[in-house]
Chains A and B, each alone.
Chain A
Amino acid sequence: MKLITRRISAKIVIAMVVVLSVIMAASAVLIVQRGGELLRDELLVKGTSMARVGAKAMEEVLERAIASGTLTEEQVFDTKYQEIKEGPLAGAAIPKYHTAYDSYLDQAIMALQDEFLKSDDMVVFAVLVDRNGYLPVHNTKYSKPLTGDAEKDKVGNRTKRLFNDPVGLAAGKYDGKDGNGFLRQVYKRDTGETMWDISAPVYVKGKHWGGYRIGFSIAKTEATIDEMRNGLAFTMLAVLFVAAVTCFFVVGRMTRPLKELTEIADRIAEGSLEERIEVKSEDEVGQLARAFNQMTQVIVRNLQGEIEKSNRMVASVKEAIQQLSTSANELMAISTQQASGAAEQAAAVQQATTTSEEIAATAKQVSDNAGRVETLAGQASGASHSGQQAVAAAMSGMEQLKGQVMSIAEAMLQLGENSQKIGGIIDIIDEISDQTNLLSLNAAIEAAGAGEAGKRFSIVANEVRRLADRTAEATNQVKALITQIQQSTNSTIMLTEEGTKGVDAANALVANISQTLEKITRAIAETSEAASEIKLMTQQQTTASEQMAETIAEVRDVASQVAVSSQETTQSITELTGLAARLQDLVEENLLAEAKSTVQAAAAEMARILAEAVDSGKFSVADIFDDNYQPIAETKPQKYHTKFDRYLDEKIQAYEDSLLANPHVSFAVLVDRNGYLPTHNTKYSQPLTGDYEKDKIGNRTKRIFNDKVGLTAARYDSRDGKGYLQQIYERDTGEKMWDISAPVMVKGRHWGAFRIGYQMD
């Protein structure tokens, strides 16, 4: 199908073949029809003449039989068909009949009838039938002896049967009165052949006796027609084929310049704008080529202008996109801030609401408490009044007490004086008793001196002495008592003095209390006043805080609206960012396509150089895959040698540097699968200065870049089928890089990768 749709020659050939075949088929059909008709006409003429000849001959035979007297006229017209029950024809599957004349006719006409069959091989049968379809004598071919096999006999022995089928009857009954003189019927014989039955009427003695039927097998005629048709078709196909092939080649040759034109146009489309078409001829194709060349020139001229313009445009679009992206990011940040601010605000408002509710509640409590304070202050005022009365009572009581204590003190002084007087008296008594004691002793001594006469007196004296002793004891006791009394009165007097002092102090205290109570009463009055003021003010505060709550609710609504709108803003910005990213992708797609082909070409070149190094015998495969990195002394960051890096310095640096012709390319290097970079661009292979910061930028060759990006690039072996890997990262020098890498295969093994770093800005 592709071949057909894509080649003009094929299209032309097909169109031609279709048209030719239609014409040829039509003419063939026409020719065949004509030929058939001619054949059929010829056949009909032949058949009718045969039938007529046969009918005449039969009339002759029958009339001669009547004339010779062999058969009577009645016998000839006999229609009493006797079924054959005896003889060789008996027992046939289809009944057979005798008439009065059939035996005669067997001898008279069989040879004659067979002559028709012999004269033309298309003649299947040529028989006489009476007007009822009775067939007295068949051709020899159909009068074979009976075999007993019904099928075989049906074909081999058909004589003396009544063929009263429509065709048979029509043929028998046809009397030629329609003017044609013959009847043609087409039918399918019970043997399956398509037959033409041509019959002519037989008259005996002017009476219609029956008909003479000639059976033509059309098959043979049809076969002739088919043959003719097939021959014709073959011839035509041959003609068609030759014509088609010729046409295909001729047209193909004619369209070859067009094809070349197409290829060149493709190449131009692919970018080789310098292509020119050789004008070989002056025909339409040649003119087309010339016009095409002119067009290309014009287009190329315009295109270069356009490319420059579009490059500038792309650059400015990129810039715009970056600005857009930056602004979108800023906007995003702002709206995020706004959103969070709004959320904070909402939270703050919530807090404020809570706080104002709390304030209201607190104010209520304060109001209640102030009310209670008022009540309590009233109670306290009453209490302090009664306290003042009590203090007054206490003060008068105190005065009384003081007087009483004073009188006690006086009484005590009196008592002390009296007891001292008693002491004086007791001293006298003591003196008397002492004297008495002495007297009594002396009396006793005198009595003892008196001897027996003073006996009783001595007793008296003794008793007196005892009495005096007793008195002395008693006075001693009294003295002790008086001393005690004096002590007691002294201490009582001191106590009463202290008591007086205490009463004075108590008086002072009570006076103080009285003053304090007065102050308290005043303070209570003030408190009561203040509490009622507080109550009033807190009621006002409650109202104010309710108003505040309302205001806060309004603020909250506004804040939530702000939050919603900032969310919407965020979403819009997100969309905007997505748009910017898509735009950037679109812009970068071009760059990517270019970068991809560059890096893949470079990787192929590297693979070639490495393979060549092995093929030339300079390195073994193991040497080229050497990853036994030998540290280079006194390098920081650390650098390494391998077996192949010095060779590569000579071989690939120029190629690597050539890729830096593109101003966007920052580096273009070969790395092995572990990230080892044997040869860097000249730009990064400056002589070492010893300054770490300077060397980090100026000399990056022969280091192992096994950071994430470096390793990912180095290990990428294209198993994902893309053939390249792109990564975006920030270089250790701070530049934002776009890293495109393609795998390098050597001898069917993954050796490493070629990396190109594009500056993103």
Chain B
Amino acid sequence: MTEQPTYEIAQILEQMRADYWHNLEAADQVEAGEQSDYLVIGFGLQRFGVPAGACREVLKLPRIVRVPRLPAHLPGIINLRGEIVAVTDLRPLLDLPVTEATAGFRLVVIASGALRTALLVERVEGMRTIAATAVATLAEGSAHAAANLFHGKLDDDEGRFLLLLDPQRLLERPDMVIDQKGSTIND
């Protein structure tokens, strides 16, 4: 017990160092083809990719102020450095089970045009670079397609798939419309 952690740490660090250099080289070499970065978020087993361009920042879960008469996917609002940002919970929209948010939950601030919101997520896995060729369209008539929030999906090597969120569609949904000049609400 006493030796193993030391050994593991050294090994892990070594591994990480190797990965780091490998990734740098990979980033340098892989230029061919169109590709884009996605921030991978997840609820339970479900993972979703959010285009990195739409992401503004990741926050620790702050105090969420509850606003009366809002739908279930809008649990409240936060104060982000003086700006009021609506918090969006994707789980009611995707018919996923809703649990109480804990300290590990994060807020991912996304923006599309002038619209922005903070997505309440269970976890943030990290940045992932995905080739455009790997992205498949959603089958017509499926539940995900019906949600009208995704522009494709990525089949994983492990049989799992990654749904790629379209921030514009999300933010432009009629029930998501929040006036940018909604600063009146801010006060």
Interface residues of A (CB under 8 A from B): 434, 438, 441-442, 444-445, 447-449, 455-456, 458-463, 465-467, 470, 474, 477
Decide yes or no: A438 and B59 within 8 Å by CB, A449-B52, A463-B20 being known contacts.
Answer: yes
B9 proximal to A (CB < 8 A): yes
Decide yes or no: A466 and B16 within 8 Å by CB, A438-B60, A445-B56, A448-B55 being known contacts.
Answer: yes
Distance in Å from the Cβ of A189 to the closest Cβ of chain B?
191
CB-based A-B contact count at 8 angstroms: 60
Q: Are A465 and B52 in contact (CB under 8 A)?
A: no
Chain A residues with CB under 8 A of B155: none
Tell me the residues in window 17-43 of chain B with beta carbons closer than 8 Å to chain A beta carbons: 19-20, 23-24, 27, 37, 39
Distance in Å from the Cβ of B113 to the closest Cβ of chain A?
16
Chain A interface SS verdict (over half)? helix
Q: Which of A444, A460, A466 has the most CB of B within 10 A?
A: A444
Q: Are A462 and B126 in contact (CB under 8 A)?
A: yes
CA distance A396 to B59 in the complex (A): 66
Decide yes or no: A458 and B127 within 8 Å by CB, A463-B16, A466-B16, A470-B16 being known contacts.
Answer: yes
CA distance A556 to B53 in the complex (A): 138
Q: Apart from A442-B57, A445-B56, A448-B37, what 9 extra A-B contacts exist at CB < 8 Å?
A: A441-B58, A445-B52, A448-B39, A455-B27, A456-B24, A458-B127, A459-B24, A463-B16, A474-B5
Distance in Å from the Cβ of B151 to the closest Cβ of chain A?
18
CA distance A463 to B23 in the complex (A): 9
CA distance A463 to B22 in the complex (A): 11
Distance in Å from the Cβ of B121 to the closest Cβ of chain A?
11
Interchain CB contact (< 8 A) of B53 among A441, A449, A455: A449
Chain B residues with CB under 8 A of A459: 20, 23-24, 27
Q: Are A444 and B126 in contact (CB under 8 A)?
A: yes
Q: Which residue of A lies closest to B103 (CB)?
A: A434
Chain B residues with CB under 8 A of A458: 37, 127
Chain B residues with CB under 8 A of A442: 57-58
Provide 29 A-B residue pairs closer than 8 Å at the C-beta atoms, listed in order of the A residue. A438-B59, A438-B106, A441-B39, A441-B58, A441-B126, A441-B127, A442-B57, A442-B58, A444-B39, A444-B52, A444-B127, A445-B39, A445-B52, A445-B127, A448-B39, A449-B53, A456-B27, A458-B37, A458-B127, A459-B20, A459-B23, A459-B24, A463-B19, A465-B126, A466-B19, A466-B126, A467-B16, A470-B12, A474-B5
Distance in Å from the Cβ of B112 to the closest Cβ of chain A?
14
Interchain CB contact (< 8 A) of B58 among A445, A462, A466: A445
Decide yes or no: A438 and B52 within 8 Å by CB, A459-B23, A461-B127 being known contacts.
Answer: no
Instruction: Name the 5 nearest CB pairs between A and B, nearest first.
Output: A448-B52, A441-B58, A444-B127, A448-B37, A445-B55
CA distance A445 to B12 in the complex (A): 25
CA distance A435 to B5 in the complex (A): 23
Q: Which residue of B lies closest to A477 (CB)?
A: B5
Decide yes or no: A445 and B9 within 8 Å by CB, A456-B27, A458-B37, A463-B19 being known contacts.
Answer: no
Distance in Å from the Cβ of A361 to the closest Cβ of chain B?
78
Q: Are A438 and B5 in contact (CB under 8 A)?
A: no
Distance in Å from the Cβ of A461 to the closest Cβ of chain B?
7
CA distance A315 to B53 in the complex (A): 170
CA distance A442 to B5 in the complex (A): 30
Q: Which residue of A lies closest to B59 (CB)?
A: A438
Q: Are B124 and A441 in contact (CB under 8 A)?
A: yes
Q: Are B127 and A448 in contact (CB under 8 A)?
A: yes
Tell me the residues in window 80-111 of chain B with beta carbons closer than 8 Å to chain A beta carbons: 106
CA distance A642 to B16 in the complex (A): 152
Q: Are B23 and A462 in contact (CB under 8 A)?
A: yes
